[in-house]
Structure 1
Amino acid sequence: MENLIEVNGDTIDREHVCCAISDKKSAQAKKEWMKRCFPDGYQFWKANAQGKALIEFVPAENAWAPIHADGYLFIDCFWVAGSLAKKGYGTALLKLCSETAAKMGKKGLVAISADKKRPFLSDPAFYKKGGFRTADIAPPFFELLHLPFDENADIPKFRENAKRGTAAQQGVTVCYTDHCPWTAKYIPLLEKIAEERKASVCFQKINTKEEAQDAPSPFTTFSVYYNGIFVTNEIFSGKKFIGFLEEKGF
């Protein structure tokens, strides 16, 4: 499909890079994160259309995710808006990713999804329709999917820290990165809510790929823990966060 464009170091300052947020301030943190990742082989492609469809990928060794998948190309984010659904954009973006991996001599593709369609994770049904298989699982519902180009290729795995699914801290802990503009928009709001309610919430920003690879959950963009146990990867709105705090007695 010709209607795909790459966002790179030369074009990033003028291109939109978010799936659903138009706020330029929230997207700026994502753009700065992308600029740091470009030297690691990170690529961002999107539909040149009225609507949003995008795919992000990087050599798995440089993924901001707790996986062992050396030699694979890691799909960091893959999203197609409803307005562009069933128009071939998802298929075209995945094909581009696969062709890029083949040209790079990669073993195949790898992505993090779940047991079913869940918020902020790509639909596993679409991946599996394209030939992806489950390589590994991590609690409570994460799946590591892979599409090997050779049946003898090594099978990717989650790192042990992700398979434990627990954090060391007690109380409420929110871990996040600048990978998604949603965190730039909502983390300040959640911090303000926690302060106003005098709730003891630890906000931990993941600043490097090494920290992300040591994370206690596969989804490093945003994860919430309570007394060390994973709660959700869904980025809280203010209303949902207040409900969560009240449920925990704050």
Structure 2
Amino acid sequence: MVTVVDVTSENIEEKGFFCMRSKSKTQGYKRKQSWLLDRFQEGLRLKIIEEEGRPKGFIEYIPIEYTWRGIQGSNYMAIHCLWIVGKGKGKGYGSRLLTECIADARSSNMSGVAMVTSSKTWLTDTDFFVRHGFELVDSAPPHFELVVKRFDDQSCPVFNHGWDERAGKFKDGITILKSDQCPYIYDAINTIIEVAEERGIRSQVVELRNSMEAQFAPSPYGVFNVIYNGKLLTYHPVTKRELIKLLEEA
């Protein structure tokens, strides 16, 4: 049997939030859980799809006014993450979760649903949303796209452009702008700091304290930005080898 579970402050201890469920004692997991408890008060919804009681994927979304992505708009629902893993793929689970989000947005009298996508890595592919009636409305470097599904004629969301200018404020060494929205960020930070120390590169970590700061981060992903000498190096966790390669190419 396949079921969709609403994760709330009441059952999050039991159900978790899908990512890193087997590592619930780690700092990344604990920080994400605390972050979610604060976001539930802002209207965040988290749904996990289960097959015979086993989680196969999830969707996380929030009213756009409180989104932690680099977009702006009004009266839209913004999807942070949509992820189906392993043998759960190819069974329509992603479509089912997306349908739940769209239904929530409609029942809340919103004007539509939006998501930051990418054809490269870490974010859901743009084509998936296009197949479900979304349209591409904006793009941003290096390979971000903004897709929306409109319910009415109200203005649709756009990217908060100005990425290079914001990244350029951090000119000296490596700056990591981070939040607790993604539990994988915590370990990634340790890797980056380790490489920086090995190479004698100055590094610092800057906490993104609220959704507005994430909306005006140096990349559309918002919640994790690694800046090297004023340029965006990566917006997603990388391995030590990948990071060294990025530094050598910068």
For the criterion TM > 0.5, the same-fold answer is yes
Report if aligned partners of 2:70, 2:214 keep a CA contact under 8 Å in 1.
yes
Aligned residues, how many? 245
Shift of 1:146: 0.4
Report the alpha carbon displacement of residue 165 of structure 1 after superposing the two structures with TM: 6.7
Residue 93 (structure 1) aligns with: 97
SS of 1:6 mapped into structure 2: strand
Contact 1:107–1:153 (CA under 8 A) maintained in structure 2: yes
1:116-135 correspondence runs (5 A): 116=119, 118-135=120-137
Kindly tell me: are residues 190 and 128 of structure 1, through their superposed partners in 2, closer, same or farther at Cα, counting changes over 3 Å?
Answer: same
Counterpart Cα distance in 2 of 1:204 and 1:57: 24
Letter in 2 for 1:41: G
Q: TM-score, normalised by structure 2?
A: 0.89
Is contact 1:56–1:78 with CA below 8 Å preserved after alignment?
yes
Q: Tell me the alpha carbon deviations over residues 8-66 of structure 1, each in whole angstroms, 9 at most, x when there is no partner.
A: 10011222323456311131111011011111100110112234310000000011122
Q: Distance in 1 between matches of 2:237 and 2:146?
A: 21
Within the alignment, does 1:15 sit opposite 2:19 as a pair?
no
1:71 aligned residue: 75
Range with bigger deviation, 21-30 or 211-220: 21-30
Query: Percent identity among equivalent residues?
Result: 30
Choose the corresponding residue for 1:234, options 217, 226, 236: 236
| Contact 1:139/1:163, CA 8 A, preserved across alignment | no
- Residue pair 1:21, 1:181 contacting (<8 A) in 2 also: no
**Structure 1 pair 45/124, CA: closer, same or farther in 2 (3 Å)?**
same
Which residue is 1:35 aligned to? Answer: 37
- Give, in whole Å, the separation in 2 of the partners of 1:82 and 1:189: 26
Structure 2's unaligned 5+ residue stretches are none
Determine the C-alpha separation between the residues in 2 that align with 1:82 and 1:153: 38
Q: More displaced, 17-26 or 38-47?
A: 17-26
* Gap runs ≥5 in structure 1: none
* 1:136-155 paired onto structure 2 within 5 Å: 136-150=138-152, 152-155=153-156
Matching residue's letter, 1:154: S
- Residue 246 of structure 1 and its aligned partner are, at CA, apart by 4.8
Match of 2:189 in 1: 187
